Amino acid sequence: MKKELSKNQLKMVSDSKLFNELENQKIIIFDFRPRKQFIQSSILNYSINLPSDEIKTELFENPGIIDKKLLEEFAHTEFLRRKANELKRNFIVIIMSEDKIKKEEILKYFTLIGTKDETNISEEIVKPLKFYITLITNKVREIGILNCGYWVFKTRFPFLVHINQEPPKIFKGINGFHGFPSIILTNRLYVGDQYHVNNYN
């Protein structure tokens, strides 16, 4: 697999950034954790599970092709199947694992993809990185890897995750994602959106 990508093309996404992107709904999350972990807990509504211990590495060997049939197969709702066919219209976040992986380590692994040293990297790292490269090659620009791991996001935002495929009660009682205030990010201008100018009272 030939890779002609610079290190600068590897982008990370913070848990706060993911939280804000969930609010505008133009997002799709590819979660590479094992199926059992995904069923036990996953981010509400926008997650497609591509279990790294089930999918074949060969599916990502050709970076010029996105296997949309594969994505549709793993998407468990019609809404997510439509999302999988509109990748360039969405902000894409990749969850590599339950635990945090340091950016320096991911960057090191990223530079080894497509080289003989790739065989020394675990599949739970190789598969999401190859998928990332496939998306970048197909000019998907709004994309990043969650930098904190799933566990940290779940701990910080428990009201935005399914537990055993059931949404939390607090989520049912408000106006979906728009019932939560956005997080102000460092060095980012926040102007809100159409939902924040409505008077729900």
Rounded alpha-carbon distances, angstroms, from residue 32 to 8, 38, 99, 153, 185: 23, 9, 12, 15, 26
Q: Is the pLDDT of residue 37 over 90?
A: yes
Highest-pLDDT range among 93-97, 129-133, 174-178, 187-191: 93-97
% of the chain beyond a pLDDT of 70: 74
Tokens 């065989």 — which residue?
119
Return d(Cα 73, Cα 108) in angstroms, integer. Answer: 31
Amino acid code (one letter) for 29:
I
pLDDT for residue 190 is more than 70: no
Higher pLDDT, 138 or 184: 138
Q: What are phi and psi of 99, to 5 degrees?
A: -100, 160
Examine the pLDDT at 168 and tell me if it is beyond 80: no
We find that the CATH architecture of domain 8-155 is 3-Layer(aba) Sandwich (3.40)
Q: What is the pLDDT of residue 175?
A: 47
> Hey, what are 131's tokens?
């998928």
* Whole-angstrom distance, CA of residue 158 vs CA of residue 30: 19
